Amino acid sequence: MAKLTVEGFGTVDVEDGKRLVLAIEQDAHVDVLHACGGNARCTTCRVEFIEGEPKQMTVAERQVLTAKGATGVRLSCQIVCDHDMTVRAISRLTGSGRPDPGGPPAPEITPPPQWIAV
Ligand code: FES
């Protein structure tokens, strides 16, 4: 079990290997966006890490962050909970004006991950 803390929302236990976007939504009950359904295409699932930022990322995450010029954030759909983490949920349905958070992300990271060091 990994511990996930979402700033302002508390700390929850998360099943090892669960996608961070799903842990934020289902375990921490925070309305994180995932407009592309967790496919590393939209960046709406972005979070800021306060502690425990993973030292690896998927090639898909690197590509979309670079394409959008996004710095200081990580994509929660491209991260698995395999250690304790503290994040800030900076992209939520609340206040977004969107009708819904996006399609449901699959249980596993999509597209199939290729890992690189951060
Ligand atoms: S990039 Fe779209 S949900 Fe993560």
pLDDT tens track for 65-78 = 999 999 999 999 99
Distance 78 CA to ligand 1 centre (A): 8
Task: Output the pLDDT for position 117.
Answer: 97
**Is the CB of 40 within 6 Å of ligand 1?**
yes
Longest dimension (CA), the chain: 36
Distance 3 CA to ligand 1 centre (A): 22
DSSP string, 58-100: EHHHHHHHHHHT--S-EEGGG-EESS-EEEEE-SBSTTT--SS
State the pLDDT confidence band at 35, using cuts at 50, 70 and 90. Answer: very high
Task: Output the pLDDT for position 66.
Answer: 97
Distance 77 CA to ligand 1 centre (A): 6
Task: Output the pLDDT for position 42.
Answer: 96
C-alpha to C-alpha distances, 18 to 13, 54, 72, 116, nearest whole angstrom? 11, 14, 22, 19
Mean pLDDT of 11-28: 98
The answer to whether 65 touches 47, Cβ cutoff 8 Å, is no
Atom of ligand 1 nearest to the CA of 46: 4
Average pLDDT for the chain? 98
Q: Name the pTM for this structure.
A: 0.97
